[in-house]
Amino acid sequence: MSNASPTGDHAWFAESRFGMFVHWGLYSLAARHEWVKNRERLTDEDYQPYFDHFDPDLHDPDEWARLAQAAGMRYLVITTKHHDGFCLWDSAHTDYKVTNTPYGKDLIAPLVKAVRDRGIRIGFYHSLLDWHHPQFPVDGHHPQRDDEEFKAANADRDMTQYTDYLHAQVRELLTGYGRIDYLFFDFSYEGRPDTWNGKGRADWRSEELLAMVRQLQPGILVNDRLDIPGDFVTPEQYQPDAPLRAADGSPVPWEVCQTLNGSWGYDRDNLDDKSPDLLIRMLVDTVAKDGNLLLNVGPTGRGLIDPRAERTFRAIGEWTRLHGRAVYGCGPSEFTAPPDCRYTQRGDRLYLHLFAWPFGHLQLPGLAGRVRYAQFLHDASEIAVQSIAEGQAPDTTRMSAPPAGTLTLRLPVRRPEVEVPVIELFLT
């Protein structure tokens, strides 16, 4: 793994740990996954009804920002353009934009304002692909990949013209909305065995594009999907099993993006919702491995976050309200957590996240004499501790015989009524 570039401002990113990803566009009307145009081999004509009827009249950007804040999210990333080429802002470089739909208004500006007003950082997702642009060459991901006429037309398509368009739109986004904290490009796929005519750094002119981004927005964080090193790497829909390291062993900043139900865009009939408990454990697992979690939602075609997603975010928010200091600004610990637990740490505060409830006692190797006080984080109630010193024989009538150097926590029989209980350990 190559090391990430140190150019961007990582301080806020490492402090935040948790963000909201929003996939929204014409595919929200189809309501069957954001890749519906690809999956169903839809032509531009097939897809046109979604453009003709896009009218998110119930969209309230402040409500989105309120929900992100209530969930404990510290930044929000919105899809400015997905692979279908539709733009959520009033781009001067295309007619395929929200201001030409029945809605008729820029959607990015009011969301940027609402997010900033809540003290939340703002990021833009921007697709490098464009299945609508007439100069974008057909490839193995294109909806018309099986259409021989479209494939034959590749000889007349000019990738240089498309890349000029890509750069112009990125410039537009980074000069029209004030300071932008984060940019998520998606994605490069040159040389992948599962596709043909894939595209990468030469096609996007990635070095030139990244230099322009840095010049326009000093300090912005840029991900790794330009096919050149970025500020952080982006595993998708899977949890790394350890902190990520470069070849020289140095830490690599990373962010995992995950969905609520397996679909990024609104998918009406998809009921595979992850529980709040699972998502909280996912957040904790990520922070314990020195990463960030970007959790996605796909709003409806009328601009609403559906009730199931809203309930999930509010449940996560109830947990982060009580346990936020075990997440924000925390990272991995040198100590090894017991089975079915995770440690996060910030300075002299060590946080033990209990994924399963133990039978009365919990033994923490290596912590004897290292903890001056222990409490549940949700209510600050004290937890009794007991250590076995070197050479001391344990009282086996009261507890098992752990190895020397082990700290034992005496826990109540009843599990606290929170999704994931957390114990705060004050280290000496």
CATH number of the domain enclosing 137: 3.20.20.80
Residues 239 and 356 in one domain: no
Residues 260 and 367 in one domain: no
User: What is the span of the domain harbouring residue 386?
Assistant: 341-427
Residue 331 lies in a domain: no
Residues 312 and 384 in one domain: no
User: In this structure, what token pair is assigned to residue 292?
Assistant: 């960030």
Q: Is 24 helix (H, G, I), strand (E, B) or coil?
A: coil
**CATH number for 393:** 2.60.40.1180
Instruction: For residues 128 and 170, give the distance between their C-alpha atoms in angstroms, rounded to a whole number.
Output: 10
Residue 332 lies in a domain: no
Q: What is the pLDDT of residue 1?
A: 45
Q: What is the pLDDT of residue 394?
A: 55
Residue 1 lies in a domain: no
Residues 361 and 289 in one domain: no
Residues 363 and 288 in one domain: no
| Domain end position, chosen among 278, 303, 326 | 326
Q: What is the pLDDT of residue 164?
A: 99
Q: Is 347 helix (H, G, I), strand (E, B) or coil?
A: coil
Residues 275 and 201 in one domain: yes
Q: Is 145 helix (H, G, I), strand (E, B) or coil?
A: coil
Look at the chain and report how many structural domains it folds into: 2
Residues 302 and 417 in one domain: no
The 10 Å Cβ neighbour count of residue 315 is: 16
Q: What is the pLDDT of residue 403?
A: 83
Q: What is the pLDDT of residue 375?
A: 98
Q: Which helix (H) or strand (E) holds 215?
A: helix 206-216
Kindly report the three-state secondary structure assignment for every residue of 95-157: CCEHHHCCCCCCCHHHHHHHHHHCCCEEEEEEECCCCCCCCCCCCCCCCCCCCHHHHHHHHHC
Q: What average pLDDT values come out for the chain (428 residues) when binned by 10 residues?
A: 60 98 98 98 98 98 98 98 98 98 98 98 98 98 96 95 99 98 98 95 98 98 98 97 96 98 97 97 98 98 98 98 98 97 98 96 96 98 82 55 88 97 98
